[in-house]
């Protein structure tokens, strides 16, 4: 097993497709804002037209169906099968674990490469304090059920000050649930988190001393693990995915972002109008990506600067990596 930094792949397109913004939960750190992302549920015809838009652009695209809660969409199974038939290289469903509309009965492991579950604690009290009463039990039961049915399952853990203390307990739980990939995320200061003073990112010392160590332990169990780099060393090269990668974060109101940190603002680079992908006129997020600042990521400096530190001379003590730069260990 070898740890590697996942280089941005200019030839791979990743479509993060929010097919609706409705959700049965009210997570403390939810990044969905209906005033920015819309409140509509896309019709299956529109979903298929937008899938075609991105698969025509790049035949090897990956699609991740998101919401809100994507399994609340009654036609998710058809959308998944359409994506496969169009030749998407991989299809993932990111669920909060409630798996509405009997989705496990309507799709097969041939249709879905990964069922991804979001869980923000290794125990019910910690997870439910963030995601809501009863979520831990439902999510773990359904993750187990999906794995028992032969689906490859992954689990996303969004690390914050409120749950970092339980990260070390995750390897055992992942093994028990039959999870094959573990994604550690960093809390983004956007959506609900901006309004909630109790929601904080962990500091550099905690992140760098704990997260890679837990990741190695997870990998030693034969589970693939991916986590964001966040803090760059002096020797590391800084790159902005907005300039070198092909990621599209699509929302039901037609907004298409290239960078998740921009999603609270109407600065999306593209918009889907009449089923066509149109670049928006300046000023949009794309105009920020090329700005070179000593702090590294320019959007981090603008929207979540609390994770920066400065020396007595006023220079940054370290740079913040692109939020899309990941470390990975695969079995
Ligand atoms: S499950 Fe996802 S969409 Fe629903 S409230 Fe939680 S973070 Fe938001
Ligand atoms: S997080 Fe920063 S570096 Fe990454 S795409 Fe956004 S602006 Fe660029």
Q: What is the pLDDT of residue 60?
A: 83
Segment 149-159, tens digit of pLDDT: 999 999 999 99
Q: With bands split at pLDDT 50, 70 and 90, how would you rate the model's confidence at 291?
A: very high
Provide the residue ranges of all domains of the chain, joining segments of one domain with +.
3-329
Pocket test for ligand 1, best of 25, 65, 66, 251 (most atoms within 8 A of CB): 25
**Distance (Å, rounded) from C-alpha 43 to C-alpha 35?**
20
Residue 67 Cβ inside 6 Å of ligand 1? The answer reads: yes
**In the predicted model, what is the mean pLDDT of residues 41-60?**
92
Q: Which residues pair with 157 in a beta bridge?
A: 184
Q: What pTM value is reported for the model?
A: 0.97
Report the nearest-CA residue for atom 2 of ligand 1.
Answer: 68
Residue 250 burial (CB count, 10 A): 26
Q: Are β-strands 181-186 and 153-159 bridged in parallel, bridged antiparallel, or unpaired?
A: parallel
* Interaxial angle between packed helices 124-131 and 135-148, expressed in degrees from 0 to 180 and rounded to the nearest 10: 110
Tokens of 27: 């997570």
- Give the whole-angstrom CA distance, residue 154 versus residue 156: 7
Planar angle of CA 281, 287, 291, nearest 5 degrees: 170
Give distance in angstroms: CA of 258 to centre of ligand 2. Answer: 8
Asked if residue 269 has its Cβ within 6 Å of ligand 2, the reply is no
In this predicted structure, the answer to whether residue 169 has a pLDDT above a threshold of 90 is: yes
Mean pLDDT of 232-241: 95
Pick among 3.20.20.70, 3.40.640.10, 3.30.70.260, 3.30.70.100: CATH of 3-329: 3.20.20.70
| pLDDT-above-70 percentage for the chain | 100
How much is the pLDDT for 300?
98
């Amino acid at each position: 097993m070898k740890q590697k930094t996942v280089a941005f792949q200019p030839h791979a397109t990743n479509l993060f497709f929010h097919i609706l913004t409705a959700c049965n939960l009210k997570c403390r750190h939810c990044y969905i804002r209906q005033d920015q992302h819309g409140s509509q549920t896309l019709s299956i015809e529109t979903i298929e037209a937008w899938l075609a838009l991105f698969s025509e652009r790049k035949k090897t695209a990956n699609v991740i169906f998101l919401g809100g809660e994507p399994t609340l969409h009654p036609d998710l199974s058809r959308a998944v099968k359409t994506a496969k038939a169009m030749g998407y290289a991989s299809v993932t469903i990111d669920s909060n674990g409630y798996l509405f509309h009997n989705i496990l009965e309507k799709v097969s492991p041939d249709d879905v490469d990964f069922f991804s579950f979001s869980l923000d604690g290794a125990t019910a009290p910690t997870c439910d304090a963030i995601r809501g009463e009863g979520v831990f039990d439902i999510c773990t039961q359904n993750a187990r059920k999906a794995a028992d049915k032969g689906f490859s399952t992954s689990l996303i853990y969004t690390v914050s000050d409120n749950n970092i203390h339980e990260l070390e307990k995750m390897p055992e739980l992942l093994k028990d649930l039959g999870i094959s990939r573990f994604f550690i995320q960093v809390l983004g200061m956007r959506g609900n988190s901006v309004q909630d003073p109790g929601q904080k990112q962990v500091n550099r010392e905690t992140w760098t001393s704990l997260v890679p160590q837990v990741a190695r332990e997870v990998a030693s169990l034969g589970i693939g693990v991916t986590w964001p780099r966040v803090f760059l060393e002096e020797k590391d090269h800084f790159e902005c995915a907005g300039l070198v990668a092909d990621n599209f974060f699509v929302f039901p109101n037609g907004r298409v972002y290239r960078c998740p940190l921009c999603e609270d603002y109407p600065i999306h680079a593209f918009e889907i109008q009449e089923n066509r992908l149109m670049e928006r006129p300046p000023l949009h997020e794309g105009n920020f990506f090329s700005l070179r600042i000593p702090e590294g990521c320019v959007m981090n400096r603008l929207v979540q600067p609390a994770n920066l530190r400065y020396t007595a001379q006023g220079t940054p003590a370290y740079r913040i990596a692109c939020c899309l730069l990941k470390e990975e260990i695969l079995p």
